[in-house]
């Protein structure tokens, strides 16, 4: 895990006056959390944008606020609706000795043989998995290996995911992560996970008829 450290300073300017900070190349932000009083801070805009690029909501980073190191997670980012510039960041301060809950993104990796060899349709389910663990054990992402899906109708559910020790999944084990459905108009016979595929196709047909 990359050790990201952001330099910050306490911020006295609040409300509409923060526009002046942005014009000066600064990024306003706030830190809050359990047993942590909300703290208004300011960061260098360019450095913060570069450092936060690609950082997920489950990746632990460090804020260095006037010499005080605070472990945090990125909870919310606000962007300008027209320019797309980052306007504000909410950070969640965490205790390294207390378990936290977080949403971890799902990343699909590889190619499913059922898609390549049989023309199967890749149907995705959950894009994030909710977990509970100590901050040090929090995974940045959950990688799902598609190469295991060799036949039409095969699926991967939450209960099939391999997670690091100390990480507890809070989602229902039967929730769908990814499924290989048959091409539209084709039927599946005797394939594992057959009970899922007809539901996906019928749902798609019904939605087309309604619209």
How many CA atoms lie less than 13 Å away from 97 in the CB half-sphere? 1
Q: Which two tokens stand for residue 166?
A: 């100390």
Instruction: Clarify whether residues 173 and 190 are in a common domain.
Output: yes
Instruction: Clarify whether residues 69 and 162 are in a common domain.
Output: no
Query: 105: domain range?
Result: 100-210
Instruction: Clarify whether residues 80 and 110 are in a common domain.
Output: no
Q: Nearest Cα to 141, choosing from 57, 71, 72?
A: 57
* pLDDT value at residue 208: 39
**CATH number of the domain enclosing 75:** 2.40.240.10
**Distance (Å, whole) CA 106 – CA 177:** 8
Instruction: Clarify whether residues 109 and 189 are in a common domain.
Output: yes
* Residue 105 contacts residue 56 (beta carbons within 8 Å): yes
Q: Which two tokens stand for residue 113?
A: 């043989």
* Residue 156 contacts residue 144 (beta carbons within 8 Å): yes
Domain count, the chain: 2
Instruction: Clarify whether residues 125 and 196 are in a common domain.
Output: yes
* pLDDT value at residue 6: 95
* Residue 168 contacts residue 132 (beta carbons within 8 Å): yes
pTM here is: 0.75
Domain end point (choices 78, 93, 108): 93
Work out the burial of residue 158: count CB atoms within 10 Å of its CB; fewer than 13 is exposed, 13-18 middle, 19 or more buried: buried
Instruction: Clarify whether residues 88 and 129 are in a common domain.
Output: no
Instruction: Clarify whether residues 9 and 27 are in a common domain.
Output: yes
Instruction: Clarify whether residues 116 and 196 are in a common domain.
Output: yes
Instruction: Please name the residue that has the structure tokens 């040090």.
Output: 136
Domain end point (choices 76, 93, 110): 93
Domain end point (choices 67, 93, 119): 93
Give how far Cα 94 sits from Cα of 58, 91, 102, 175, Å.
Answer: 12, 9, 11, 29
Give how far Cα 122 sits from Cα of 86, 150, 204, Å.
Answer: 34, 12, 14
**CATH number of the domain enclosing 169:** 2.170.120.20
Instruction: Clarify whether residues 52 and 107 are in a common domain.
Output: no
Q: Nearest Cα to 159, choosing from 148, 171, 150, 142?
A: 171
Instruction: Clarify whether residues 86 and 157 are in a common domain.
Output: no
Q: What is the pLDDT along the chain (211 residues), one digit of tens a residue?
A: 458 899 999 998 888 788 899 999 999 999 999 888 999 999 999 999 999 998 988 999 999 999 899 999 999 999 999 999 999 999 999 999 999 999 999 999 999 999 999 999 999 999 999 999 999 999 999 999 999 999 999 999 999 999 999 999 999 999 999 999 998 756 555 444 444 443 343 434 344 344 3
Instruction: Clarify whether residues 117 and 38 are in a common domain.
Output: no
**Distance (Å, whole) CA 72 – CA 140:** 13
Instruction: Clarify whether residues 202 and 104 are in a common domain.
Output: yes
**Distance (Å, whole) CA 55 – CA 107:** 14
């Amino acid at each position: 895990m990359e050790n990201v450290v952001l330099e910050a300073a306490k911020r006295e300017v609040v409300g509409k006056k923060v526009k002046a900070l942005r014009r000066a190349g600064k990024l306003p932000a706030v830190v809050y959390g359990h047993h942590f009083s909300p703290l208004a801070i300011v960061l260098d805009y360019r450095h913060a944008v570069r450092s936060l690029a690609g950082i997920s909501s489950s990746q632990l980073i460090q804020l260095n606020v006037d010499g005080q190191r605070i472990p945090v997670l990125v909870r919310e980012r606000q962007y300008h609706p027209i320019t797309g510039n980052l306007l504000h960041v909410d950070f969640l301060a965490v205790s390294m000795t207390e378990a936290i809950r977080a949403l971890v993104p799902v990343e699909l990796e590889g190619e499913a043989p059922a898609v390549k060899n049989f023309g199967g349709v890749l149907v995705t389910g959950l894009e994030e998995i909710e977990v509970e663990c100590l901050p040090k054990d929090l995974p940045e992402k959950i990688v799902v290996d598609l190469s295991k899906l060799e036949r039409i109708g095969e699926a991967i559910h939450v209960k099939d995911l391999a997670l690091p020790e100390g990480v507890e999944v809070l989602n229902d084990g039967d929730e769908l992560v990814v499924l290989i459905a048959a091409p539209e108009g084709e039927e599946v016979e005797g394939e594992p996970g057959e009970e899922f595929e007809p539901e996906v196709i019928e749902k798609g047909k019904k939605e087309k008829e309604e619209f």
